[in-house]
Chain A
Amino acid sequence: MDFATALQILDSAIRLMTPLLMACLAGLYSERAGVFDIGLEGKMLMAAFTSASVAYATGSAWLGLLAGIAGSGAMAGLHGLASISFRGNQLISGVAINFLASGLTVLLGQRIFGLGGRTPSLSGAARFNEITLPFADSLRPVPVIGRIYADLISGHTILVYVAFAMVPLTWWVLYRTRFGLRLRAVGENPASVDTAGISVTRLRFAAVMICGVLCGVAGAYLATGISAGFVKEMTAGRGFIALAALIFAKWRPWSALGATFLFGLLEAVANRFPNLDLGVVTVPSMFMNALPYILTVIILAGFVGRAIPPRAGGEPYVKER
């Protein structure tokens, strides 16, 4: 494989990992606070739809982004209501959110645009366009590094850079702020946080809403960054891959970067070489597509390192009286 092909694959891996990274960090906040979230897929899908619709109506990708956050935030609020306020089953609530988004997006899309659930395609300012970083063109002739800078690092939409910036930010929030300490504590031992006089409900709601915002950005990127408009079921299992990446990363921000890059790379390679010829065997594309899921099962089984979820994850907190 030559240098140019490798660069192209890496470039496409970065594009493909961005929504995964955002959704993975979203799940990180929620699950670190003790609220399991298998509704990442649904939140992203809802955000993709609302952002594409508003971006089309207003011609502004930024207003689309806000709408995406609102759409995903509404779903997050529902999840919080069911699983925090009413102490319902978090997994069932997540399943319901996935279905709700899957049905509502098509229902509303067909009603508003009459295109079988799609939104009209976006162009110009209604999309997030690629940014050329300073000196990208003048540095291009520099061997190796110039090409990497110009083709790989430069030339992505703003949301890609936002997603990457979210990694150190998340690390800082979780491990260097009081809010982060409390958030992690509420996922491990909510009773102790409650005893300290801090509201478990409020903290968990905050985490769930942050999750909603990040899923909103991920969905907006899908509909207005990577593609030009919303298509029915366009998340295509990315929410579940993000969930897989979260387990892979053992609920840690920097590892989330690594895990989502790995999954993005797998997808990029599978797209580029439908049947990967390794000389000895030919790997079929179906295997490449299933690989993230298979890897997650192996990690979960503890064959390669143990993935231990936050201890109070999945359990509603009932205050002692």
Chain B
Amino acid sequence: MERMPKWADVMLTPLISLILAFAISALVILAIGESPAEALKVMVEGALGSSYGWGFTLYYTTNFIFTGLAVMVAYHAGLFNIGGEGQAAIGGLGVALVLLALPWPHWALALPAAAVGAALFGALWALIPAWLQARRGSHIVITTIMFNFIAAALLNYVLVNLLRPVGSMDPASASFPASTHLPKLSEMALGFGIEWGRNTPANVTFFVAVAACLLVWLLIWRTRLGYEIRAFGKSEPAALYAGISPVRITVSAMLISGGLAGLMAINNVMGEAERLMLNAVEGAGFIGIAVALMGRNHPFGVFLAALLFGFLYQGGGELALWTTIPRELIVVIQALVILFTGALDNMVRMPLERLFKALRRKGA
């Protein structure tokens, strides 16, 4: 079959899918009797119109970069990791245990330690489904969904029965010591004498997330393991023939994926709440699916998609605040993005392929 040029495959198809998703979102807004233009204006102003808005947008972006990268790495190995939610939640437990266990003198020491805890716990939570898929053939999608629920129950138990400080009614851990509080981006800006993003939760983790994008790019396209992951994802029989062990690749890819999802906890648990609470992940694990799909499974794409979803998330909050449109509008937009860029990919691709074929014939 005739193929499209690469730029059309990488840029044009997702762009058209995205436009379709947003067009239908606009129709949904119209259908509930609001003006899409007005809604867009509120969202843009609320999310990007001030340094306050940007502070929140970047905070959400940080979350979505981690979960997006997590879904992406697994996807390259042909694995669909729906367990980001659970892995990030358990990553939060890792952060809390690390930060509450030792008297950390300074955040610069606490951050790497907490990151290790977060990644380790997230990776461990992904290890079990990975091992079950590789060794026992249980479907990773189903097991990771089940592990999301098990993680929620486990965390609920740990918070209520083990980590809750004496006398507190909240199912939450004690607050982390002040010495472990991460510097906010606004404080860092003030250090340069710039008034930026006051009272927003965006913190130094944003830079960790950007670094993670770079490292994941290096891993997938510049290392042997990355090559093996991609080869395995493209064709399992071919990988097997080339001497790549399916068990090793499945387990490594999921460990990295779970670790990345777990790392999200340093942003929301350590950087924002500064204690572990129930439902700290707030669905970011699921948004990672949309982010990875929209970012075409490339770290740079994931970064851009995370930024867009950060904008949508913050803008959606502003919508709920200033208009009668509920916050759930972003869930609908998220669903449409997943639907069009993921499941209905061929709906856009097939006519495009036909179009390019016709053009080529005319040109020849």
Chain A residues at the B interface, C-beta cutoff of 8 Å? 38, 78, 81-83, 86-93, 95-100, 102-104, 106-108, 110-111, 116-117, 237, 240, 243-244, 247, 284, 286-287, 289-290, 293-294, 296-297, 300-302, 309
Contact = CB atoms under 8 A, between A and B. Distances in A.
A32 to B, nearest CB: 16
Contacts of B141: 38, 91
Contact of B326 (A97, A106, A289, A293): A106
B12 interface: no
B332 A104 contact: yes
A297 B151 CA distance: 13
Contacts, number: 150
Given A99-B286, A102-B331, A107-B329, 11 more contacts: A93-B344, A95-B289, A96-B338, A99-B335, A106-B326, A107-B326, A287-B153, A293-B149, A294-B146, A302-B136, A302-B137
A93 B339 contact: yes
Contacts of A116: 326
B343 interface: yes
B329 A95 contact: no
Contacts of B332: 99-100, 103-104, 107
Contacts of B336: 96, 100
B299 to A, nearest CB: 20
Contact of B132 (A243, A284, A301): A301
Given A237-B149, A302-B136, A302-B137, A88 B324 contact: no
A86 B328 contact: no
Contacts of B331: 99, 102-103, 106
Contacts of B196: none
Interface in B120-170: 128, 132, 136-139, 141-143, 145-147, 149-150, 152-154, 156-157, 160-161
A107 B344 CA distance: 23
B320 to A, nearest CB: 10
A95 B338 contact: yes
Contacts of B335: 96-100, 102-103
A300 B143 contact: yes
B334 interface: yes
Interface of B: 28, 32-33, 80, 82, 128, 132, 136-139, 141-143, 145-147, 149-150, 152-154, 156-157, 160-161, 286, 289, 293, 324-326, 328-336, 338-339, 342-347, 350
Q: Which 4 A-B pairs have the closest CB atoms?
A: A103-B331, A300-B138, A99-B335, A290-B153
A215 to B, nearest CB: 17
B257 to A, nearest CB: 16
A86 B326 contact: no
Nearest to A111: B32
Contacts of A89: 80, 342-343
A100 B24 CA distance: 12
B143 A297 contact: yes
A309 B289 CA distance: 25
Contacts of A96: 335-336, 338-339, 342-343
B157 A106 contact: no
Given A87-B346, A117-B328, A297 B147 contact: yes
A132 B254 CA distance: 54
Contacts of B136: 300-302
A294 B150 contact: yes
A116 B293 CA distance: 31
20 contacts: A82-B339, A86-B344, A86-B350, A88-B347, A91-B82, A93-B339, A93-B344, A96-B335, A96-B336, A97-B335, A97-B339, A99-B334, A99-B338, A104-B332, A111-B33, A117-B328, A293-B153, A297-B132, A297-B150, A301-B136
Nearest to B131: A301
A88 B344 contact: yes
Contact of A92 (B138, B146, B329, B343): B343
Contacts of B325: 107
